[in-house]
Amino acid sequence: MEVPKINILDESNKLLHQVSKDVEFPLSEEDKKRIQDMQDYLECSQIEEISQKYNLRAGMGLAYPQLGILKRIFVVVNAREDGTFEKHVVINPKILSFSEEMIYVGEGEGCLSVNRPVEGIVPRHARVTVKAYDVDGNEYQIRVREEIAVAFQHEIDHLDGILFVDRINKEFPFKDADKMREL
């Protein structure tokens, strides 16, 4: 697979701090291509030989605002144990419900738009149920959990102009860690 050319904006860009708009269907061919490219890019970033060769940071999620386009679209790609990939295309998402239980990523969340080390915990719901549309405009519902739930919440935040660093307590970056489960 060739690594798609994708220009990912840095957190200093003001587009990453704005609220994106719902998308209308049918999607343009350009958008369909872009969504495919985003998924391929993430897949490449998780394949060691490719990521090393092209010096890619591994990522499991990418949202349209990170490409400078304020539309409510994101993709999540996650390598399974068997080497295949779990892929999600999520358009105009709405969170229908979420678990009371909170979790956080122990090693810290990362973001392809945040190019610096960041300390602290980002509280996330352990499970969320989301309603969204696929590339063909079909509505679907999905319940995601654990790292996929974290990814969905991280990406939905992007659509609202929020970065994970915004969710870390400035004064006490590890505040309430004892009240949540570490992932």
Q: Pick the catalytic residue: 139, 155, 171, 182?
A: 155
Give the residue with the Cβ less far from Co ion, 39 or 81.
39
Q: Which span sits near Co ion by CB under 5 A: 68-76, 111-119, 128-136, 144-152?
A: 111-119
DSSP code at position 120:
S
Q: What are phi and psi of 124, to 5 degrees?
A: -135, 155
Q: Which span sits near Co ion by CB under 5 A: 70-78, 94-102, 103-111, 128-136?
A: 103-111
Could you tell me if 131 and 39 are in contact, meaning their C-beta atoms sit under 8 angstroms apart? no
* Least spacing, CB of residue 33 vs Co ion, in Å: 21
Beta-carbon-side half-sphere exposure of residue 71 (alpha carbons within 13 Å):
17
Give the residue with the Cβ less far from Co ion, 111 or 128.
111
Tokens of 167: 């969710």
* Least spacing, CB of residue 9 vs Co ion, in Å: 11
Give the residue with the Cβ less far from Co ion, 38 or 111.
111
173: preceding bond cis by omega (within 30 degrees): no
Give the residue with the Cβ less far from Co ion, 63 or 103.
63
CB contact set of 33 (below 8 Å; sequence gap of 6+): none
Could you tell me if 64 and 52 are in contact, meaning their C-beta atoms sit under 8 angstroms apart? no
- Is 155 catalytic? The answer is yes
Task: Point out the residue whose Cβ comes nearest to Co ion.
Answer: 111
Where are the strands (E) in 136-182, listed by range?
139-145, 181-182
* Least spacing, CB of residue 137 vs Co ion, in Å: 25
Query: Interface residues for Co ion in 37-76 (CB under 5 A)?
Result: none
How far is it between the farthest Cα atoms of the chain?
47
Q: Which span sits near Co ion by CB under 5 A: 37-45, 47-55, 89-97, 107-115?
A: 107-115
Q: Figure out which of the listed residues 42, 111, 122, 159 binds Co ion, where binding follows CB under 5 A.
A: 111
Q: What are phi and psi of 37, to 5 degrees?
A: -60, -40
Residues belonging to the active site: 155
Q: Interface with Co ion by CB under 5 A: which residues?
A: 111
